Amino acid sequence: MENAVVIDRLTKKFGDFTAVDEIGLTVQKGEIFGFLGANGAGKTTAIRMLCGLLLPTSGSGSVGGFDIYKETERIKKSIGYMSQKFSLYQDLTGDENLWFYGSVYQIPRRDLRKRMEELTETLGLSEFTNRPAGSLPVGWRQRLALATALLHRPKILFLDEPTAGIDPVFRRRFWEILYRLADEGTTLFVTTHYMDEAEFCRRISIMHQGKIIEVGKPQDLIARYDQPNLQETFITLISQEGGNG
Ligand SMILES: Nc1ncnc2c1ncn2[C@@H]1O[C@H](COP(=O)(O)OP(=O)(O)O)[C@@H](O)[C@H]1O
Ligand SMILES: [Mg+2]
């Protein structure tokens, strides 16, 4: 099977501080991969390197077959990225946001119109696209942000805490959308603090203080650490590593 993401000893230093410390991973095409870790573990920094937005200090990596040092422009065109920080223009309506991002991706007008209709329909956004993004409840805003990340039909989608602060019913619906995308062949690389969501992932990694300390299927990790559930497994792993994480 082809790989969507391959990284080896990937490192990012900010001055003397090592935010991402020699991490290695392989994510298969079409896989839902959960990229877990406590706050400050280095997840966002790693994702930004994979999305071609931040140059690594050392190590290697490729995303969709493109090199994360030399082919960042091609990476940006072929992936979708839903950033942790809110990326929508608050004063623009949903439609205007979609139109704006569509032009950033240089999608021809007619295709863009069609794609916007499709996404509005499949994400259930139709009632919300003519309201300012800033006035929408968080759950709808995140769906709109997902729509902007999907406009150019990316094969690999990076989602950085897409459901943070959303209620459980909405989170479940958001994940139904993600499942549908995965069924259609999209690779999903997603961070979350919700362990129920992490259990939806085919495989997960757990990051702590810049390092990946475990990788595996949720059920395998739970068994390996002899814990009742993923929440306890996560806590056990992070606490046995020590430090202030
Ligand atoms: N541009 C930066 N300059 C200096 N330190 C940074 C920068 N970006 C992130 N960091 C630090 O790197 C560490 C990892 O941050 P981040 O990748 O955002 O973690 P996470 O997403 O897992 O919460 C944190 O200690 C953070 O303060
Ligand atoms: Mg983060």
In angstroms, the CA 230 to CA 43 distance is 19
* Nearest to 203, CA basis, from 79, 25, 72: 25
- What 3 state SS string does 39-92 have? CCCCHHHHHHHHCCCCCCCEEEEEECCEECCCCHHHHHHHEEEECCCCCCCCCC
The answer to whether residues 79 and 158 touch, using CB atoms and an 8 Å cutoff, is yes
Confidence of residue 86 (pLDDT cuts 50, 70, 90): confident
CA dihedral sign, ordered 141, 120, 88, 7:
positive
Identify the residue whose C-alpha is closest to ligand 1 atom 14: 42
User: What are the structure tokens assigned to 219, written together?
Assistant: 């059920």
List pLDDT tens digits, range 93-117: 999 999 999 998 899 999 999 999 9
pLDDT digits (tens, 9 = 90+) for 159-206: 999 999 888 888 998 999 999 999 999 999 999 999 999 999 999 999
C-beta 143 within 6 A of ligand 1: no
- Amino acid at the residue 59: G
Which residue out of 10, 12, 14 has the highest number of ligand 1 atoms within 8 Å of its CB and is therefore the one to mutate? 14
Ligand 1 centroid from CA 234, angstroms: 20
- Asked if 97 contacts 151 with a C-beta cutoff of 8 angstroms, the reply is no
- 44 close to ligand 1 (CB < 6 Angstrom): yes
Residue-range domains of the chain with CATH? 3-87+155-241 (3.40.50.300)
Q: How far is the CA of 158 from the centre of ligand 1 (A)?
A: 17
CA 163 to ligand 1 centroid distance, Å: 20
For the chain, the distance separating the N- and C-terminal CA atoms, rounded to the nearest angstrom, is: 35
Mutation probe of ligand 1 site: the residue of 10, 16, 44, 45 with most atoms within 8 A of C-beta: 45
Please tell me whether the overall predicted TM-score, pTM, comes out greater than 0.75 for this model: yes
Pairing status of strand 79-82 against strand 156-160? parallel
Q: How far is the CA of 218 from the centre of ligand 2 (A)?
A: 21
Q: What is the pLDDT of residues 110-142, one digit of tens each?
A: 999 999 999 999 888 988 899 999 999 888 999
